[in-house]
């Protein structure tokens, strides 16, 4: 029988993702969900792709699944990045990545 785990809240994930984005962009400003990763935060496609690693660390810390590089790159606004990590953090560990 599988061990049940607690669902992590979106607010907890959002705080962690914002902290990582602030560190990656060296920004002291408040990062809003509506901010565009490239236009507002200066994160080109290569940087967004590389974000799979910190996103995966957050997700896996809560017992979720890793984020794929192409998924991380496809996030264009902060809300999409938060939702991506939230989805993976609460995914059953038997599911590896998403389409």
pLDDT tens across 46-85, in order?
999 999 999 999 999 999 999 999 999 999 999 999 999 9
In a domain, 96, yes or no: no
Task: Report the CATH number at residue 31.
Answer: 1.10.1200
In a domain, 1, yes or no: no
Q: How many CA atoms lie within 13 A of 49 on its CB side?
A: 5
In a domain, 74, yes or no: yes
- Domain containing residue 72: 10-89
pTM to 2 decimal places: 0.88
Tokens of 31: 């990062």
In a domain, 3, yes or no: no
CA–CA gap between residue 37 and residue 40 (Å, rounded): 6
Alpha helices in the chain (DSSP H): 10-25, 45-50, 52-61, 69-74, 78-89
Q: How many domains does the chain have?
A: 1
Tokens of 18: 């914002």
Task: Note the pLDDT tens digit of each residue in 6-27.
Answer: 899 999 999 999 999 999 988 7
In a domain, 4, yes or no: no
In a domain, 47, yes or no: yes
In a domain, 98, yes or no: no
Q: Which helix (H) or strand (E) holds 59?
A: helix 52-61
């Amino acid at each position: 029988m599988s061990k049940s785990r607690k669902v992590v809240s979106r607010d907890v994930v959002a705080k962690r993702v914002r902290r990582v984005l602030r560190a990656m962009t060296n920004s002291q400003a408040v990062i809003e969900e509506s901010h565009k990763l490239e236009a507002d935060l200066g994160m080109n496609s290569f940087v967004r792709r590389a974000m799979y690693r910190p996103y995966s660390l957050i997700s896996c810390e809560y017992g979720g699944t890793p984020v794929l590089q192409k998924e991380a790159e496809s996030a264009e606004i902060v809300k999409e990045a938060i939702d991506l990590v939230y989805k993976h953090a609460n995914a059953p560990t038997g599911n590896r990545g998403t389409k």
